[in-house]
Amino acid sequence: MGSLPFFLPFAELEVGQHLYWQLGNLRIHGQVFMTSWIVIGALLVFVIAGTKKMERDPRGLQNLLEFLWDYIRDLARTQIGEKVYRDWMPFIGTLFLFIFVSNWGGALVPWRLIHLPSGELGAPTADINTTVALALLVSLSYFYAGLSNKGLRYFEYYVHPTPIMLPFKIVEDFTKPLSLSFRLFGNILADELVVAVLVFLVPLVLPVPVMFLGLFTSAIQALIFATLAAYYIGEAVEEHH
């Protein structure tokens, strides 16, 4: 994009460039880890500050934390079911909070002002590695949830109404992480690109509504990811009669 005829210093657009860090013989995307640490740090600061002095009559941050907790509990309870939702609530909640803060951080913080030698900072969820990692964790979780709750009877699920379902259910095990990861990755990357392109073309006013739309999309995507993860786990632990 830098090769376009005119050049605006605040509207450079880089796609698919990464800041590589070398760990032994492993290569990782430095910019993703940097923003993810900021996101995790922000989450931890928020959580520690809010739970420092908890009271029966909540005040200040504790209200917000309790609201979040309640929201996540309702989400987990409706999708997973009364019996085992407690075991999975932290996982679902962490997914939701991490994705939500990542997305909003990517949309709200002007990362582009910090120059990196290569690549640029942005939402960690705009990197396919992050979203695939999250989606694979979800896959592992629902397998684990199914097997630990029902043992080998978990595999009844694959032939549940009729054995004809077997191939579809097997395909589903691959499409679930694929759709989860690509949905999140695509939405967040597309949002960043749309905003970047609009800023590149019309630096004033016009990108603002798209930015608001981006905030909305970001929140929705976090909710969708967490809800689907909970739903998959709920599906795995559900008892068929």
Partner 1 sequence: MTSMFLFGATEGGLFDFDATLPLMAVQVVLLTFILNALFFKPVGKVVEEREGFISTTRADAKKKLAEVERLESSLRDQLKEARQAAQHVISEAEQDSDKLYREALALATTEANASREAARREIDSQKESALNQIKSDASTLGDLIVERLLAAQ
Query: Which residues are at the interface with partner 1 (CB under 8 A)?
Result: 1, 3, 15-18, 23, 26-29, 32-33, 36, 40, 43-44, 47-48, 51, 54-56, 58, 62, 65-66, 69-70, 72-73, 89-91, 93-95, 97-98, 119, 124, 127-130, 132-134, 136-137, 189
Return the number of the residue (124 or 214) whose C-beta is nearest partner 1: 124
Q: Where are the beta strands (DSSP E) in the chain?
A: 20-23, 26-29
* Shortest Å, Cβ 53 to partner 1: 11
Return the number of the residue (132 or 224) whose C-beta is nearest partner 1: 132
Return the number of the residue (95 or 228) whose C-beta is nearest partner 1: 95
* Shortest Å, Cβ 239 to partner 1: 25
Structure tokens, 5? 């005829």
Return the number of the residue (42 or 109) whose C-beta is nearest partner 1: 42
Q: Tell me the C-alpha distance between 122 and 32, whole Å.
A: 7
* Shortest Å, Cβ 31 to partner 1: 10
Closest CA to 103 of 186, 176, 180: 186
Residues 6+ apart with CB under 8 A from 38: 105
* Shortest Å, Cβ 69 to partner 1: 4
Return the number of the residue (20 or 168) whose C-beta is nearest partner 1: 20
**Spatial contact of 217 and 194, defined as CB atoms under 8 Å apart:** no
**Spatial contact of 19 and 116, defined as CB atoms under 8 Å apart:** yes
* Shortest Å, Cβ 232 to partner 1: 16
**Spatial contact of 120 and 140, defined as CB atoms under 8 Å apart:** no
**Spatial contact of 226 and 141, defined as CB atoms under 8 Å apart:** no
